Amino acid sequence: MRIVVVAPSCTLRPEAAEAATAIAASRGDAELVIHPQCFFSDGHFAGPDEVRLEALREVMADDRYDAVWFARGGYGSNRIAEAAVADLPAAARSKTYLGYSDAGFLLAPLHKAGLEVAHGPMVQDVARNGGEAAVNRALDWLVRRDESSLEPGLKAGQRALAFNLTVLSNLLGTSLEPDFTGAELLIEDVAEHEYRIDRVMFHVTGSPAIRRSSGIRMGRMSEIPDNDPAFGSDAESIVRDWCERSKIPFLGHADIGHDAANRVVPFK
């Protein structure tokens, strides 16, 4: 399987590209093609919007690739997401798209357009402790839809969507918003203060579109900065509280997060 890597938000580290490429090569069932755009740099981003968009559109339209794997998160894919899904070429429809975090801004409209997308590990995750397992988990799913890569709570016949909570909040009400009706919604976040998690849970659970989901499952909320004074409740209590207030069922935990254990959630 030929998997192409582009970076719609921030620059990929060359060491990470090399390490992930070597893992794929050693498996014998997958070839990673790292688009040069991954190493571009323009302020916060892996190249200007037009360059990131052009690289993404180019690989989406290229018949030689079976999957598009997003290099890493950060910030910026929202800036090109609407244009990325306009007038989709046929070749774009026969591919799988994988990523999470900021890449959720792309997963949402790609899913909405009927393409096959999943929330799961990215190339840069190879640099994490245990990162080789994350890369193999992603490849196992991309290459042979290995069920052991999947988030273990997913149920056959049950719609599911997964998002970074802050990204989800920022796409609600925009043209990128997908249909949440009847879907389990898995959320995770990283490096947000508890007051921000509380505020964004207020926003997300206050959305009529989100209230049409079948419930929320909570992934890991990691690297939460200290609140001064102590906030008074932890991330799980916050999520449970807003679920209760909004009458959205709290469905337990999800094995996703900004870490090497992050499992795959195919959107459906």
Residue 91, Cβ neighbours under 10 Å: how many?
14
Q: Which of 108, 171, 221, 265 binds a copy of itself (CB under 8 A)?
A: 171
Q: Which of 29, 42, 63, 179 binds a copy of itself (CB under 8 A)?
A: 42
The smaller minimum CB distance to a copy of itself, of residues 23 and 171, is found at 171
Which residues in the 188-217 window bind a copy of itself by CB under 8 A?
194-195, 198-200, 202-203, 206-209
Nearest alpha-carbon partner for 65 in 43, 33, 40, 89: 33
Does the footprint of a copy of itself cover residue 176 (CB under 8 A)? yes
Does the footprint of a copy of itself cover residue 237 (CB under 8 A)? no
Candidates 21-29, 43-51, 87-95, 138-146 — which segment interacts with a copy of itself by CB under 8 A? Answer: 43-51
Does the footprint of a copy of itself cover residue 94 (CB under 8 A)? no
Rg of the chain (C-alpha set): 18
Q: Phi/psi at 161 (nearest 5 deg)?
A: -135, 145
Query: Are residues 218 and 254 in contact, defined by beta-carbon separation less than 8 angstroms?
Result: yes
CA distance 82 to 44: 20
Does the footprint of a copy of itself cover residue 63 (CB under 8 A)? no
Q: Which of 50, 227, 244, 252 binds a copy of itself (CB under 8 A)?
A: 227
All residues at 6 or more sequence positions from 175 whose CB lies less than 8 Å from its CB, including other chains: 82, 109
Does the footprint of a copy of itself cover residue 79 (CB under 8 A)? yes
Smallest distance from a copy of itself to CB 200, Å: 7
In terms of Cβ atoms closer than 10 Å to its own Cβ (0-12, 13-18, 19+), residue 204 is buried
Query: Are residues 66 and 31 in contact, defined by beta-carbon separation less than 8 angstroms?
Result: no
Give the interface with a copy of itself as residue ranges (CB under 8 A): 41-45, 75-76, 78-79, 169-176, 194-195, 198-200, 202-203, 206-209, 227, 229-233
